[in-house]
Structure 1
């Protein structure tokens, strides 16, 4: 599998960065603002990686809303075929909870009740931009092999 990060939704990005640095020595890239649909958010990834720790601060109503408190949000995986990966999860009873595709962002969250969090499938087409932004000079990461998973 092509696991590359664990994501947390947090109400205060700077406080979460500071606390993880103090507790575990985690170093961070510079936080960046973002927007998808009607939601603004701030995001940051740990350095180095993979695996990365991702912190996302999103407002009420957003997929990363943490107004009730911080929470484990997702495990992130690269995939060469987002559509096939989504269909595989849907066949296994894990429908999409949120998709960035309608907003021109090829990723989707599928909820796993057993862990209380999502699997984030991210199209590998985004990997070069991800590395350029969050790990300049970093090596390409693997991707999720949907054919091998279908055989399981």
Structure 2
């Protein structure tokens, strides 16, 4: 699918998950970063060498990245030309919004896709340059979902 760039696992211990991925599959990692969104502090890291990338994230109980019930596959991430158009389209297709970063000034939305037991994340392409600069310096632009061609 056009625009796909990462898979994400919510984990209780980022360092342990990084070590396990490295030992089992040779995955190399950027340095983890701590951040805050709304009332939630979280930690995040992406693999190097992508796309596609592997993302690991952990957050407190009650957050969108709550790992209190254990590690899990959480979502697949896609670049979108327009999250404001893509989210309603996914809702029409039976994939309701599970969490949106838009009210926090972060142009992304998670949609539940019950058939795979995980979420789909749409991330506005306006964030792609900052993503590449932080997690994949020197990486080339990645494909984007064209929401206008899907209606």
* TM-score normalized by the length of structure 1: 0.97
Name the structure 1 match of 2:105.
Answer: 104
**Partner of 1:42: helix, strand, or coil?**
strand
Name the structure 2 match of 1:128.
Answer: 129
Q: CA deviation at 1:149?
A: 2.1
Q: Map Cα deviations across residues 16-50 of structure 1 (whole Å, 9 max, x no partner).
A: 00000000000000100011010000000001110
Q: Map Cα deviations across residues 94-141 of structure 1 (whole Å, 9 max, x no partner).
A: 121100000000000000111110000000000000000000111011
Misfit runs of 4+, over 3 Å: none
Name the CA distance, whole Å, in 1 between partners of 2:69 and 2:92. Answer: 32
C-alpha RMSD over aligned residues: 0.7
Name the CA distance, whole Å, in 2 between partners of 1:125 and 1:79. Answer: 9
Name the CA distance, whole Å, in 2 between partners of 1:140 and 1:85. Answer: 20
Name the structure 2 match of 1:74.
Answer: 75
Q: CA deviation at 1:148?
A: 2.3
Name the CA distance, whole Å, in 2 between partners of 1:101 and 1:20. Answer: 31
Name the CA distance, whole Å, in 2 between partners of 1:30 and 1:145. Answer: 32
1:49-68 to 2 correspondence within 5 Å?
49-68=50-69
Aligned residues: 150
Name the CA distance, whole Å, in 2 between partners of 1:105 and 1:46. Answer: 21
